[in-house]
Amino acid sequence: MKGHGGDIYAASQALSISADKIIDFSASINPLGVPGSVRRTIIAHLGQLRHYPDPSANELRNEIARSIKVDPGSIICGNGSTELIYLVARAMQPRKVLIPAPTFSEYENAIITCRGVSKYAGTNNKSISYFTLNEQDNFRLNPNEFIDAMSGMDMVFLCNPNNPTGGLVRKRDMARITDAARQAGCCLVVDEAFTDFIPGESIVRKVKDNPYLIVLRSLTKFYALSGLRLGYAVVNPELYSTIMSFKEPWTVNTLAQLSGIVALKDSLYADRTFDAISDGKKYLEAELIKMGIKYYPSSINFYLLRLDNASDVLSELRGKGILVRDCSNFRGLDGSYIRIAVRTQNENRRLLRELAELWRAL
């Protein structure tokens, strides 16, 4: 599991067990699963698959706008937020880019791809600079130092909360960073893929008055719609036409659009999610402390762990049909780190029971 989390299909083939028997802690998805309201909507609208989807996703954009209180004309829907990372890089063509480390690898990949350089060719891309998050500080981002590092950059990526560390830059500090980007004339791309788990920390409404700010959001994490792929960007009107001119048509299918509309209205599901994640986090933290396993403070639904025998733990858990995220391919991390999601309490107990046995034995 060194590329991304969630590849249960490769594990299924390698272990010769069905994919639905695998317990996947490697992908940080809502443990409640797909909302019942979304399931019913998909079944009821299968007949619409004979039609092309709305290329503008107008109804979905209107519902997103209502949900986050922005102008629907500032919203660009995509096939997951990852499509939009590549779209922004392709449209903006930045010359000098700043990316924290460790963080989500697709920012770097998108910049390399838009420059036509293969990431497998061994070529150093000198246009990318990295802002190192220090383990001694629990991988927390220092806003003052980050603002200093933004000087001279055309584009900055910032995942908030950060993947894979779970660290959060608070809203008041994000306001300072967005103001600094505007003053410097630097495009700041803030990836809020996990912000639905802590909605009060979103800066999405700042986009309206800041032509240098782009906020990316995902509906696949909080609403467990990873297989449908659904995300959106909120951009200033000054950037909207430029970015849209590089976008492929029909990337958001009909069922994804309908599912997003229904999911955003399902407040009961959201309330149940907050309760489930809170309970799961309390349990995991308490048990990890008992075992003496180092974890880093997380504001959301996953934890980065440090284990001296991480590779052995990964292998043993995988053999039992339990996947956790190998973090050795994150820039700034090594083979001592794994990431685990918050899942159902029964699954959390199973993971901790297996982890305790391995922690003692290896």
pLDDT in tens, 267-319: 999 999 999 999 999 999 999 999 999 999 999 999 999 998 899 999 999 99
Cβ contacts of 13 within 8 Å, gap of 6 or more: none
List, for residues 5-14, the tens digit of each pLDDT value: 667 788 778 7
Number of helical (H) and strand (E) elements in the chain, helices listed first: 12, 13
Identify each DSSP E strand in the chain by its residue range: 23-24, 75-78, 97-101, 128-132, 155-159, 187-192, 213-218, 231-235, 294-295, 302-306, 322-323, 325-326, 337-341
Q: How many of the other CB atoms lie within 10 Å of CB of 295?
A: 17
What are the angstrom distances between the C-alpha of 71 and each of 99, 113, 152, 191, 264?
29, 31, 31, 19, 16
Distance of CA 323 to the CA centre of its chain: 18
Q: What is the pLDDT of residue 116?
A: 66
**pLDDT, position 117:** 52
Ordered by start, the domain boundaries in the chain are 8-34+268-361, 36-265
- Which of the 8 DSSP states describes residue 73? G
Residue 120: the pLDDT is 42
Whole-angstrom Cα distance, residue 176 to residue 240? 24
> For residue 114, what pLDDT is reported?
86
The label of the residue with tokens 């990890």 reads 288
Check residue 267 and give its pLDDT.
97
- Sequence letter at residue 317: L
H/E stretch holding 354: helix 345-361
Distance CA 52, CA 145 (A): 48
Predicted pLDDT at 6: 64
List 294's β-bridge partners, or say none.
Answer: 306
Show the CA angle centred on residue 81, arms to residues 79 and 83, nearest 5°. Answer: 55
Fold of 8-34+268-361: Aspartate Aminotransferase, domain 1 (3.90.1150)
Query: What pLDDT, on a 0 to 100 scale, did the predictor assign at position 10?
Result: 81
What pLDDT does 63 receive? 98
* Residue % of the chain over a pLDDT of 90: 87
Residues of the chain with pLDDT under 50: 1-2, 118-123
Domain 36-265 has CATH 3.40.640.10: yes
